[in-house]
C-alpha cells in the first residue's frame, strides 16, 4: 500500500502554504441526520435483542422448539416459568436500555408503543416516562408460553411473521427491508401471522443453505421469489449480511431443499 516515498520524513506541523489551517477551518458537516440516527438505533436495538436472546440460550433457557416437543406437565411448567422470566427480564432489559438517556439521542424519534410487558416493567421504574420507546423490539409472550409479536425469537433463529415478496432483480434490497423493518411487513395484522414458519422448519431452511442453525444468527421467513413460493434465509452473523431464497420444501423439514437464489450480500 505504501511506497518508498511514503517513508520520506515530513514535518507535519509546518504549514507554509496555510492549507492545514484552511482545512481545519472548513465548516463541520454537522450532526448526524436524525433519520440516520433513528435507523442505526433501530439496528442496534435489533442487535441488542438478538444478543439478549443468545444470552438467554447460553444461560440455559430451552429453545421453544424443544419445549414444544416435551409433553410432561412438569416440563411444561418449567418452560412456562422460564418464558415468564424471559418476558419480565426482557422487559426490564429493554426498559433499562430505553429508559436510559444513552439512547435518548435518537429515542426521541421513536413512537411509544402500548406493549403491556414494557408498561409493566415501567410501572416499577422511577424513570418510566420514556421507558417504552423501544418496546416494539421486544418479543411478547402470552399466557400459554407461545411467543408472538414482530418476530419469534428462537435462540439464534428468528422467524419473520409475514411473507416477504422478493424478486431476483431486487432481492438484496427486498431482503434488507425485511431485516430492517420486519414490523412494516406485518401491517396486515392477524392475516399475516398465519404465514409464519414453524421454528423447527426455519432451522431446516437454514440447513438447506449449508448454514448451521445452532451457531450464528439467522432470520427466516416465508417469501415469494418472482411470485413463486420460497423461503427467505438471512445470515445475520456476517458483515455484510447474506441472504438466500430457498425452495419452499424446507418449510416441510427438507433440509436439502434447493437454493433458488443467493447468497447475496445485503446493502
Partner 1 sequence: MTLSDLAERTDAELLALHTSGDPDAFGEIFRRHKDKMWAVAIRTTRDPEMASDAVQDAFLNAFRRADSFRGTAQVSTWLHRIVVNACLDRLRRVRPTVDLADHDPVEPRDHHHSVEVQMDVRAALDRLPQAQRLALILVDMQGLSVAEAAAVLEVAEGTVKSRCARGRAALAGMLSSP
Binding site for partner 1 (CB under 8 A): 1-3, 5-12, 14-20, 22-24, 26, 28-33, 36-37, 39-41, 43-44, 47-48, 51-52, 55, 93-94, 96-97, 100-103, 105-106, 239-240, 267
Question: Smallest distance from the beta carbon of 97 to partner 1, in angstroms?
Answer: 4
Question: Smallest distance from the beta carbon of 56 to partner 1, in angstroms?
Answer: 11
Cell of 244: 438466500
The counts of H helices and E strands in the chain are 9, 9
Question: Smallest distance from the beta carbon of 32 to partner 1, in angstroms?
Answer: 4
Backbone angles phi, psi at 87, to 5 degrees: -60, -50
46 or 222, CB closer to partner 1?
A: 46
Question: Smallest distance from the beta carbon of 205 to partner 1, in angstroms?
Answer: 23
91 or 207, CB closer to partner 1?
A: 91
12 or 169, CB closer to partner 1?
A: 12
- Residue 227: how many other CB atoms lie within 10 Å: 9
Contact 37, 106 (CB under 8 A): yes
134 or 199, CB closer to partner 1?
A: 134
Question: Smallest distance from the beta carbon of 126 to partner 1, in angstroms?
Answer: 10
Contact 153, 53 (CB under 8 A): yes
The per-residue DSSP string of 154-210 comes to: ETTEEE-SS-EEE-STTHHHHHHHHHH-TTGGGTTTHHHHTTPPPHHHHHHHHHHTT
Contact 112, 132 (CB under 8 A): yes
113 or 195, CB closer to partner 1?
A: 113
Amino acid at each position: 500500500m505504501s511506497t518508498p516515498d511514503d517513508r520520506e520524513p515530513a514535518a507535519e506541523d509546518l504549514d507554509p502554504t496555510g492549507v492545514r489551517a484552511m482545512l481545519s477551518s472548513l465548516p463541520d458537516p454537522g450532526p448526524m441526520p436524525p433519520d440516520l440516527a433513528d435507523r442505526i438505533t433501530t439496528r442496534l436495538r435489533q442487535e441488542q435483542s438478538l444478543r439478549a436472546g443468545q444470552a438467554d440460550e447460553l444461560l440455559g433457557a430451552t429453545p421453544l422448539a424443544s419445549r414444544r416437543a416435551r409433553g410432561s406437565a412438569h416440563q411444561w411448567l418449567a418452560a412456562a416459568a422460564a418464558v415468564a422470566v424471559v418476558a419480565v427480564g426482557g422487559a426490564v432489559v429493554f426498559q433499562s436500555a430505553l429508559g436510559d438517556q444513552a439512547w435518548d439521542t435518537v429515542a426521541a424519534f421513536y413512537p411509544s408503543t402500548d406493549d403491556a410487558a414494557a408498561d409493566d416493567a415501567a410501572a416499577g421504574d422511577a424513570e418510566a416516562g420514556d421507558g417504552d420507546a423501544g418496546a416494539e423490539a421486544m418479543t411478547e409472550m402470552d399466557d400459554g408460553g407461545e411467543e408472538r409479536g414482530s418476530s419469534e425469537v428462537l435462540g439464534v433463529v428468528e422467524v419473520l411473521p409475514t411473507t416477504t415478496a422478493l424478486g431476483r432483480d431486487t432481492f438484496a434490497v427486498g431482503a434488507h427491508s425485511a431485516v430492517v423493518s420486519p414490523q412494516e411487513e406485518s401491517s396486515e395484522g392477524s392475516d399475516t401471522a398465519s404465514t409464519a414458519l414453524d421454528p423447527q422448519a426455519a432451522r431446516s431452511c437454514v440447513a438447506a443453505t449449508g448454514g448451521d442453525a445452532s451457531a450464528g444468527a439467522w432470520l427466516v421467513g416465508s417469501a415469494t421469489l418472482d411470485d413463486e413460493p420460497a423461503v427467505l434465509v438471512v445470515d445475520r452473523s456476517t458483515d455484510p449480511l447474506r441472504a438466500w431464497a430457498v425452495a419452499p420444501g424446507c418449510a416441510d423439514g427438507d433440509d436439502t431443499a434447493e437454493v433458488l437464489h443467493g447468497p447475496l450480500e445485503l446493502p
